[in-house]
Amino acid sequence: MAETVEILDSIMGSNKTNGIIKWMNDNPKNKYIYISPLLSEVDESSRLYGDDCNVEFNCPSVNTEDGVISKSDALLNLLKMGANISATHSLYLSMSNEHMKEIEKQSYVLIIDEEVGVIDSFDLYNSDDLSYLIKNKDVEIDKDDGMVCWVGDSLGENNKYKRFENLCNTKTIYTTKRFDNVMVTHLPIKLFTCAERVIIMTYLFKDSILDCFLRLKGIKVRPFLEVTTSKVDKSLLRDLITLVPPSKEVLKVRQTATGYSKQSQAECNIVANYIRGVARKYNATSYDVMYTFPKELVKPNRKNGKKIRPKSFIEYKTPRLSCDGSVLFDDDGNILYDNHSCWLYSGCRATNKYSFKWCLIHAFDVYPNVPVEAYLSDYGFAPSRNQVALSQISQWVWRSRIRKFEPIVLAISNKHMYDVFVEWLNDDNI
């Protein structure tokens, strides 16, 4: 079992993936599990299955003819075979004890591309529910890490707190010391200890959510030094990025997730107009534009119906391709197109599907999740707000054609995010 998590911390474009593939090629006796955020980065179309990678990977897939009815079953079968496996973050985070026992038994090396989200706010039950259960002596709070432990009698299946009891027994619910018993949930720490070695490839790891979480749980971290990455010239990036500062009008809109939830439709329209205005100023079409704000505002919100829809810059088209990469035509000889959203999730990482985008508008003031930040801070491991913000915006920008070192326009509509990014861009030591 791994006692230390190794971190390959290097800027985007520094050839982390190519470096780790070469390292795996040089160490063929290891058994590998390679984890990445998106299926397109681990399936048979990815670099792991290309000519540069000598490791024979297997991507878990459903095969009902063989009795494999879920990807979880497929993963377990591959683990029992001792096969090299490529899979997504979501499949990795859903692993059961049986999966983790097999990883330990087979002495796998676990490689994780980009940080995984192992901790989140928990609102299935509220603080009133927790207070009632404490008063009723059904639960107790572990003072060392805030774990909510079920200590009362087992409840019947129809009891409203039965699910709470079950979750407590899986050791997944924790509470803050402050803020009226705000709760979080996190996945088993064994996910990071069951393999023989655990290597995480990322950027700006120090004081991130995952860094704080691992240290809170007593997991040591150290640099992974067996791969040498290339240096990215920040001065080149500065020459390629045309920065557009926030306008006076858009600065009036609070652009945090909470702030957006309290804004009127008229204030949301200011953001939509800002996005449209930047695009038109630089003669960008919907095909060129990529923007971000909270997902809840992409479509009408159930509670208040608010949304942000910059007219003419909602969707873009790309030619529909066959499995061999050729363009598809209809019966009349016209090119078939697929519609895609101009919006891209602010925390998106790893993918290169947006590498043709050059007009970027970032309209989201990013902060750590409040309950998660409170929980980690209460137990002595506060994440850096600016580090979290910088990690997201730098990764989001890198989805565009800047990853090919081609010029982009970047408009940042919020002062906090603008200042964080400018400071990073001008600091050659980060």
113-166 pLDDT per residue, tens: 998 888 999 888 888 898 899 999 999 998 888 999 999 999 888 899 999 998
According to DSSP, residue 273 is labeled H
Where do the H-state alpha helices sit in 66-200? 71-81, 89-93, 97-106, 127-135, 162-169
Reported as a single tens digit per residue, the pLDDT across 198-246 is 999 999 999 999 999 999 999 999 999 999 999 888 999 999 999 999 9
3-state secondary structure of 84: strand
The yes-or-no verdict on residue 355 having pLDDT over 80 is: yes
The yes-or-no verdict on residue 16 having pLDDT over 60 is: yes
> pTM, whole model, 2 decimals?
0.86
With cut-offs at 50, 70 and 90, classify the pLDDT of residue 304: low
Residues 349-365: b if buried by 16+ CB within 10 A, e if exposed: bbeeebeebbbbbbbbb
Domain containing 150: what range? 120-186
Residue 320 falls within a domain, yes or no? no
69 and 160, same domain (yes or no)? no
Say what the pLDDT of residue 387 is.
Answer: 93
Residues 302-319: what's their mean pLDDT? 78
16 and 82, same domain (yes or no)? yes
270 and 214, same domain (yes or no)? no
Say what the pLDDT of residue 336 is.
Answer: 81
Residue 229 falls within a domain, yes or no? no
154 and 260, same domain (yes or no)? no
Say what the pLDDT of residue 324 is.
Answer: 62
The yes-or-no verdict on residue 2 having pLDDT over 80 is: no
Say what the pLDDT of residue 248 is.
Answer: 93
Residue 106 falls within a domain, yes or no? yes
Domain total for the chain?
A: 3
Residues 42-46: what's their mean pLDDT? 79
The yes-or-no verdict on residue 99 having pLDDT over 80 is: yes
Residue 322 falls within a domain, yes or no? no
According to DSSP, residue 49 is labeled G
Which CATH number is 396's domain given?
Answer: 3.40.50
**What is the rounded CA–CA span in Å between residue 149 and residue 164?**
10
The yes-or-no verdict on residue 67 having pLDDT over 70 is: no
Residue 132 falls within a domain, yes or no? yes
Say what the pLDDT of residue 350 is.
Answer: 78
**Where do we find the tokens 């990469």?**
325
290 and 409, same domain (yes or no)? yes
Reference 209, options 345, 90, 88, 347; nearest CA is 347
Highest mean pLDDT among 66-80, 166-180, 350-364: 350-364
Say what the pLDDT of residue 430 is.
Answer: 78
